[in-house]
Amino acid sequence: MGMNCPKPLIETRKALRKMETGQVLVVEGDHRLSKDEIPQAIEDTGDEVVSIEETGPKWVITIRKG
């Protein structure tokens, strides 16, 4: 939360790199552009976006590592 470009994306990828296939990562943030940019980056590497939820300025993206 509160992070600015490009940290939400970087921290998401750093976390995914440490995970095993099939494990689930939940990312919470409030940087508006990252809500769209994180799912794009995830699909680029064959990981899966399970869900995207928004509550006001906050969003929660759930990712399954591919």
Partner 1 sequence: MNMPAADSMTMVVHSGDLDKAMAAFIIGTGAAAKGTKVTMFFTFWGLNLIKKDGARKAKLSRMHMGGLGTAMIRKLMRKNNVAPLDELISDAADLGVRMIACEMTMGLMNVSKDQLIPEAKEIGGVGTYLDAAAGAHVNLFV
Which residues of this chain interact with partner 1, rule CB under 8 A?
Answer: 2-7, 9-10, 12-14, 17, 40-41, 43-45
Short-list 14, 8, 21, CA closest to 47? 21
CB of 50 to partner 1, least distance (A): 18
Distance, in Å, from the CA atom of 43 to the CA atom of 50, rounded to the nearest integer, reads 11
CB of 11 to partner 1, least distance (A): 8
- Give kind and range of the element (H or E) at residue 13: helix 7-17
Q: Could you confirm whether 5 is annotated as catalytic?
A: yes
Q: Contact 19/25 with Cβ under 8 angstroms?
A: yes
Which residue out of 1, 3, 5, 44 is catalytically annotated? 5
CB of 61 to partner 1, least distance (A): 14
